[in-house]
Chain A
């Protein structure tokens, strides 16, 4: 039986509700359940999950609903009871902290507030951000689905007031050593970063930390800042701040290749700033960067190595090898591929971090020609229905892309969908390698390696039972000082049989070595 309960004009935030949906689905006798606000998105979900009843038509976006298909009325009552229990549990837990409803209320409690982290639904995000800017509060906007017009207006206002307007879709920053949202514990140093990409920042900063250097400031702009429409407003603003920051000696810029005119302006500004600057336009042409006397990087890892060299007063050289050395890597790759069955030839990349997924594809596309993806490098390689449908030949999936985050938290917070997919891919007899990331640090799941290692173990056993050998290549983006700990995470993955490489670029190169062996 399908049943619906509606509560008019009750608002709960979607993350809470998604967690609750997940919990109630575990109750005995519940076939499917969805707890949410009646947004368009959730309405579609109710239809697609087959939970729709006639009464559902009256639900509006301001209504809270519980829809479930269960064995009996009693089970549905149990669902409602559980939902209420989980909803009130939260309020009891937070009773000691008073959560004011508005920024004004927050400023009464803490008048020195200077940074806002905003992750409310996109359609409300610009309003919240503008209110913060009006109060002179710098903004880090993690929400997506903010329009270009809204983004432009916010950034123009922020620039006029000399404020940061990082985002939309900016998930990573570190100001004065404080990690904001998705960020790692990085030692303090003299390398200042501005990045249009969240996991890009995390990858570069964690490698810098691993190499023994540190970060002065790490600022974000959001992925669209360097498009022509926005014109790099925030990249320029941040760059200017780093140029004038005494603690910053080296500057590192990270972005997908910008619009040409925007690139020219940024590079000119960086060149005139006079500080040694490493530029990583992931997959972009290094010549333009060199023309301005700046240092191009071939990968995120390379950017970190070059910044570290500059910080130490050394001449930066390209790093495109392995920490273990190329020979060892080749030997190791051969050991892996020798164990594989005939017919195993494809790689499946399953990522929670969008930028490092993109980087992996860009590093490999020259060898492979086609990589099918929900974030394809060229339009003809788009994998339709990536969430529900099968992968195709060499496939890389970004689980943080819209299709996968409908009705769910970001995969760095809830990596369960990706974990399920690891097992699914192992069933395909043509799959030789599964490549995964594991992003730790603040903001991320409390222990992403635990979930992931379970599914790696399952996947490898499954392949083995069918006479195949599955190689799982992993990279951990994080540091030992992170709450989850890089070493602890690494141990979990290795115990499950994964090969853990020190960077995304090295993991990708290792996969390339194996594919070369398999395909000749």
Chain B
């Protein structure tokens, strides 16, 4: 019997693309029907849609599906732990005294956005390589300084993401894959280096972090031993954080974990207190831990052949860049970074904003941050005020991911694991772009943070990636 004759014996179940009344007609007759909230693939770009179809050729799709499952397996198997702290130049591979790491995909000095330039200049002064901004600017432009993305050095940096040789860094190891990741200490909010501020106050703070606080943390962590970061993030998600734009709970959990050890270090009590207060006074302390945790979770998926999962999303304030696991670490797919939509601090407006900036969206890449917005009703004001909006953002992300998390779960979604493993193919097919919670830097250096809100990666990043996937494998 032909399949059509078999169909004649089945209950008809309809899927409807297009005119919604055809769906309503089925529903009114009590028939099984699903309506598709259809949008043209790749926003109507036929060339890109054709590339997607090439990848969906059944035998290739089978390989891709298997590869993406492997990627999901590795992401979920990650065991990130905080092993300690050290100095960037000593721990980060490929670091030299004249290397400056920055956020996002590769960018040259002349294309760098102002906040990132400000941070670079501040970094050069902090390192003693320049005595003032003028000298710093000349040095940065001279070609003597090596600029390289943090992401190329097992490192991530929020906002400008500037890392210089002597900065202290958190050291995370993903024990399941023996993979290291690093991130600087978070400086706090307001006028800080990562937002491009670079005056004496900023430099002085960086020095205190290096000379006063860091030695305390390092010793405390040595006393304490490794800390399981996955468990800490999982707990924070149940306490109202999404670990990108809200890190209050996770920061508290970290302090609870190491406070006693700080007290037992051999430093003067004043120094211990200052170090502890520095962690405690900054709600975003934990951001610089959740980021390398995510970095160490995602990088082990590089090199899985045929894998279309996004391993990296990052921005340098000029470009947004993504990297795809199956295409390797050397290929960035970039497009101009978009502006963040959100709330501005009093006295600032959209006019003051720099385009999207920083490596912090590695959290969304891993399935937290914006993907867990529903877990964080407190930051819901950035999404228009309603809790339902946050729930919807998180729910929609399941349409573009390979699977769901096993540790990072969302209470308001009945403890469903968060959407995990962004699939380039699904982004192109659905037109749904990943949602990112993020801060907004002032477009001029030296000012700092002016707001926070939501942003998406540009669609072009995904279009370029899908074309490269098809060209490589189809």
Contacts and interface: CB of A to CB of B under 8 A. Distances in A.
B430 A102 contact: yes
Closest 3 pairs (CB-CB, A-B): A119-B18, A162-B3, A99-B37
B3 A128 contact: no
Contact of B19 (A116, A119, A164, A179): A119
Interface string A136-160: 0110001100000000000000000
Contacts of B23: 117
A426 interface: no
A61 to B, nearest CB: 6
Given A13-B18, A443-B21, A131 B34 contact: no
B175 interface: no
B13 A161 contact: no
A163 B10 contact: no
B4 A162 contact: yes
Contacts of A109: 34
A101 B15 CA distance: 11
B142 interface: no
B15 A106 contact: yes
A9 B43 contact: yes
A236 B138 CA distance: 77
Interface string A104-136: 111001101111111111011001101110100
B7 A181 contact: no
Interface stretch (A24-32, A238-246, A373-381, A393-401): A238-246
Nearest to A216: B8
B13 A118 contact: no
B4 A164 contact: yes
A116 B16 contact: yes
Given A15-B20, A102-B429, A117-B22, 20 more contacts: A13-B18, A100-B399, A101-B36, A101-B429, A101-B431, A114-B10, A114-B12, A117-B17, A119-B16, A124-B49, A127-B53, A128-B38, A132-B15, A134-B56, A134-B58, A176-B12, A178-B12, A178-B29, A238-B4, A443-B25
22 contacts: A15-B20, A61-B44, A94-B20, A99-B37, A101-B431, A101-B432, A104-B426, A105-B399, A113-B13, A115-B7, A115-B12, A115-B14, A116-B17, A119-B19, A127-B53, A164-B4, A164-B7, A175-B7, A181-B25, A217-B8, A245-B5, A409-B19
A101 B20 CA distance: 13
A114 B34 contact: no
Contacts of B22: 117, 119, 142, 180-181, 443
Contact of A161 (B3, B18, B32, B430): B3
Contacts of B40: 11, 120-121, 124
B228 to A, nearest CB: 33
A117 B22 CA distance: 8
Given A15-B20, A137-B15, A241-B8, A179 B39 contact: no
Contacts of A237: 4
Contacts of B53: 127, 130-131
B4 A120 contact: no
A109 to B, nearest CB: 6
A162 to B, nearest CB: 4
Contact of B34 (A62, A106, A176): A106
B389 interface: no
A294 B9 CA distance: 28
A175 B6 CA distance: 12
Contacts of A114: 7, 10, 12-13
Contacts of B274: none
B8 A175 contact: yes
A454 to B, nearest CB: 22
B72 to A, nearest CB: 16
A483 B32 CA distance: 19
Contacts of B31: 178
Contacts of B416: none
B1 interface: yes
B36 A99 contact: yes
B46 interface: yes
A104 B22 CA distance: 20
A117 B3 contact: no
Contact of B17 (A128, A176, A240): A128
A104 B398 CA distance: 12
Interface in B435-454: none
Given A13-B38, A241-B8, A180 B58 contact: no
B11 A101 contact: no
Contacts of B3: 161-163
B474 interface: no
B459 interface: yes
A413 B431 contact: no
Interface string A431-470: 0000000000011000000000000000000000000000
Nearest to A240: B2
Contact of B37 (A101, A113, A127, A217): A101
B41 interface: yes
Nearest to B18: A119
A103 B36 contact: yes
A100 B18 contact: no
B2 A241 contact: yes
Nearest to A174: B12
B43 A62 contact: yes
Contacts of A480: none
A101 B36 CA distance: 5
Contacts of B18: 13, 15, 117-120, 142-143
A138 B2 CA distance: 13
B35 interface: yes
A146 to B, nearest CB: 13
A247 interface: yes
A124 B41 contact: yes
Contact of A115 (B15, B38, B56, B432): B15
A97 interface: yes
Given A11-B40, A134-B58, A123 B21 contact: no
A61 B32 CA distance: 34
A123 B45 CA distance: 10
B25 A115 contact: no
Contacts of B431: 11, 101
Contacts of B34: 99-100, 106, 109-110, 113
A247 B8 CA distance: 10
A469 B432 CA distance: 60
Contacts of A128: 17, 38
A411 B39 CA distance: 24
Contact of B39 (A97, A101, A110, A112): A101
A128 B41 CA distance: 9
Interface in B45-70: 46, 49, 53, 56, 58
Given A9-B43, A61-B44, A120-B18, A102 B32 contact: no
A101 B17 contact: no
Contacts of B11: 112, 176
A411 B33 CA distance: 25
A11 B39 contact: yes
